[in-house]
Amino acid sequence: GQNIDQPTEMTATEGAIVQINCTYQTSGFNGLFWYQQHAGEAPTFLSYNVLDGLEEKGRFSSFLSRSKGYSYLLLKELQMKDSASYLCAVRPYGQNFVFGPGTRLSVLP
């Protein structure tokens, strides 16, 4: 089966940079996705990596290495509103989406 691992919780300070890692075991997939989910709300799409390398989108960047089965989400200039859970997900070929358990990020003043 497919498996995605993420740290359960992380804490960082307002204005800092934080990196949320995601490791996965899957034979092949179209792309890797990152979602943000605030408490009690639905996940919202953040980023999508198809090729290896870094995709930058404002304060958020996402990195993918297919050979290493590894991705990370980088959040810069952290703000209090970035406190949320961050979900990593892949869609293996011929299968449904597989979501990671999520990383709960707390941003402290």
Partner 1 sequence: DVKVTQSSRYLVKRTGEKVFLECVQDMDHENMFWYRQDPGLGLRLIYFSYDVKMKEKGDIPEGYSVSREKKERFSLILESTSTNQTSMYLCASSSLTGAMLETQYFGPGTRLLVL
| Residue from 103, 82, 78 nearest 13 by CA | 78
Stretch that binds partner 1, among 16-24, 29-37, 54-62, 67-75 (CB under 8 A): 29-37
Q: CB of 48: closest distance to partner 1 in angstroms?
A: 6
1 vs 109, which CB is nearer to partner 1?
1
**Does residue number 45 form part of the binding site for partner 1 (CB under 8 A)?**
yes
Q: CB of 104: closest distance to partner 1 in angstroms?
A: 11
Residues 108 and 14: their CA atoms lie apart, in Å, by 6
**Does residue number 101 form part of the binding site for partner 1 (CB under 8 A)?**
yes
**Does residue number 42 form part of the binding site for partner 1 (CB under 8 A)?**
yes
Q: Give residues in contact with partner 1 (CB under 8 A).
A: 30-31, 33, 35, 40-45, 48, 87, 89, 91, 96-97, 99-102
